[in-house]
């Protein structure tokens, strides 16, 4: 079955937005990637899923490296600009610079990183595979930049959000009941 783009089902997911920076045959480039996931602690691995026709995929296939910059809560415009045109047609980095967005040079790879993102990590690709209609690139973290202190932007149902109210924990008595229930159904191993 399909889970089509823009469908109510696809819109149930909540994600970060990775601002993916690359530098290859297309030159320096940036794209927006909601499918940016931390998938291992040790080593630190990040999976990104990129449409195979995108400039970002072409750059990464050649250089085997990319920058992950999690968009901060005040960087939704960067995401919109990065996600609405292709690096083949538009020098998005120059457009963003003229708009006032600051970039800095990476330490261990050869891309530009986005200043003041929620988290910036330099990655080297250890594996890539075509899965469905996108290519999944698994990047190994090789340099983690100091945190900016900004909160990450949330993406849901085609719109941007900021982190809101925390759900209050159940009362102690309810927690106790849950503990008892879990014990009752603990499997014998
Ligand atoms: C918020 C947002 C999230 C996106 N997430 C993805 C994604 O996870 N994977 C993808 O291939 N494209 C995603 N896109 C679309 C790409 O960013 C878009 O196609 C972009 O033009 C690709 O640029 P490039 O050709 O320079 O790589 C997203 C766009 C936006 C605005």
Per-residue pLDDT of the chain (189 residues; tens, 9 = 90+): 999 999 999 999 999 999 999 999 999 999 999 999 999 999 999 999 999 999 999 999 999 999 999 999 999 999 999 999 999 999 999 999 999 999 999 999 999 999 999 999 999 999 999 999 999 999 999 999 999 999 999 999 999 999 999 999 999 999 999 999 999 999 999
Evaluate: CB of 33 within 6 angstroms of ligand 1. Answer: yes
Cβ neighbours of 169 (radius 10 Å): 8
C-alpha 93 – ligand 1 centre gap (Å) = 15
Helices vs. strands in the chain: H and E counts, helices first: 4, 12
C-alpha 8 – ligand 1 centre gap (Å) = 19
CA–centroid distance for 121 within its chain: 10
Ligand 1 nearest-atom number relative to CA 36: 8
C-alpha 33 – ligand 1 centre gap (Å) = 5
Three-class DSSP category at 6: coil
């Amino acid at each position: 079955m399909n889970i089509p783009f823009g469908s109510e089902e696809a819109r149930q997911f909540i994600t970060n937005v990775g601002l993916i920076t690359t530098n290859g045959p297309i030159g320096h480039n940036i794209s927006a990637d909601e499918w940016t996931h931390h998938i291992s602690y040790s080593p630190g691995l990040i999976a990104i899923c990129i449409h195979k026709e995108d400039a970002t995929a072409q750059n990464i296939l050649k250089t085997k490296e990319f920058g992950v910059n999690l968009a901060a809560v005040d960087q939704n415009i960067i995401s919109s600009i990065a996600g609405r045109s292709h690096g083949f047609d538009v020098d998005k980095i120059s457009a963003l610079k003229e708009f006032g967005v600051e970039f800095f040079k990476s330490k261990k790879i050869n891309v530009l990183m986005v200043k003041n993102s929620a988290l910036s990590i330099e990655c080297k690709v250890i594996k890539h595979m075509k899965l469905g209609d996108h290519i999944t690139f698994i990047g190994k973290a090789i340099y983690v930049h100091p945190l900016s202190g900004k909160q990450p932007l949330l993406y849901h149902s085609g719109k941007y959000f900021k982190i809101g109210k925390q759900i209050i924990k159940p009362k102690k008595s309810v927690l106790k009941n849950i503990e008892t229930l879990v014990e009752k159904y603990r499997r014998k191993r």
